[in-house]
A = this chain, B = another copy of it.
Amino acid sequence: MNILLLTSGITLDQLSHVIKTFDLSADNQFYFNGRSMDDRNLAEMDIVFGWDAKVMSKLLNMKHARLKWVQAYSAGVDYYPLTQLANRKILLSNVSGIHAEPIAENVLGMILSFYRGLHTAAANQVQQQWQAPNTPLTLASGKQMVIFGTGHIGSRIAELAQAFKIQVIGVNRSGHPVKAFPQTTAMTQVDSDLLKKTDIIVNALPLTPDTKGFYNRDFFKLAANRPLFVSIGRGPSTVTNDLVEALQAGQLGGAALDVTDPEPLPADNPLWTMPNVIITPHISGLYQNYLHDAFAIFAENLHQFKTTGTLAKNEINLKTGY
């Protein structure tokens, strides 16, 4: 198989290391420089790993390209042209699953930072100031949390939250039960009754036409207990201006954002300087073994793809987008 690696930010050494680790070099040919590749070579690629807007656009507009499968290097695949892939019968898979642990750790870390004044203390530390935070310190224990999204990530957040004696409710499309959640409800049932007592709202939804702009003015108005809004899904699920207004109006008690719209968040956005807002630069899913664990999924898929033309795991439904 000819495999084109579109992975900016990963060194050749790192890629060589994982290719060797999973023993993939024997009967596959790996290509690294998609942008400098001529059309004839590009058309001979069977598989793409990763993403590059220019190269993917070129490839998908070629009449005779051999491309049959794209393995994303992320959980969210909202940035891929799903309809175009579907029309050309190209499979798409993600690396969902490997993000659950790092993102859940990040979410708990942000929640604890918020309640325990660690975020404020870090800002004071920059000033070399030994000064108690001027917000009341409280406990995560006993709080109520609603998690939107009950997949790998939402489930691990739910497990960890319950270790802290946080009461958890999960929200998913149909309200179907999910093991890690003592209670779930359907997206269509989200109303002021659900959200009025909530202390923490977590966005762990994928970005799809249904979830774009879901967290807007009307949504934030449903909350009555000044909750902390935690977002680790995708930025465009939230209407940024409405979030700013909800914080300014005190409808929300705070926000902890690993994803924003747009990214990077412009330096003049008011969110940066609000004392009750924690911002991390879309890092919650990252960890040292990410490439290794992503390649483990890719290798398993590659093995099956070569024999049957199908994928072992993590195939995306190109209609729903997840």
What residues make up the interface of A, taking CB atoms closer than 8 Å to B? 101-102, 105-106, 108-110, 112-113, 115-119, 121-126, 128-133, 136-141, 159-160, 163-164, 263-265, 267-268, 272-273, 278-281, 283-284, 286-288
Contacts and interface: CB of A to CB of B under 8 A. Distances in A.
Nearest to A137: B286
A121 B163 contact: no
Contact of A122 (B123, B132, B263, B268): B123
7 closest A-B pairs by CB? A109-B112, A163-B163, A130-B264, A122-B122, A128-B272, A121-B280, A128-B267
Nearest to A109: B112
Contact of A113 (B118, B268, B283, B287): B118
Contacts of A119: 118, 122
Nearest to A114: B109
B136 A278 contact: no
Given A123-B126, A128-B272, A138-B287, A105 B115 contact: yes
Contact of A109 (B113, B131, B268, B279): B113
A169 to B, nearest CB: 19
A268 B132 CA distance: 18
22 contacts: A101-B139, A102-B137, A102-B139, A105-B139, A106-B118, A109-B113, A113-B118, A113-B122, A116-B280, A116-B283, A118-B118, A119-B122, A121-B281, A121-B283, A122-B122, A128-B267, A128-B273, A130-B263, A132-B286, A137-B283, A137-B286, A138-B288
B280 A117 contact: yes
A286 B110 CA distance: 18
A133 B283 contact: yes
Contacts of A116: 102, 105-106, 109, 280, 283-284
A164 B108 CA distance: 10
Given A118-B280, A123-B126, 6 more contacts: A101-B141, A109-B118, A110-B118, A121-B280, A130-B265, A163-B163
A11 to B, nearest CB: 14
A288 B143 CA distance: 13
Contacts of A129: 267
Contact of A139 (B118, B132, B287): B287
Contacts of A278: 118, 121-122, 125
Nearest to A272: B128
Given A160-B163, A280-B117, A288 B105 contact: no
Contacts of A123: 122-123, 125-126
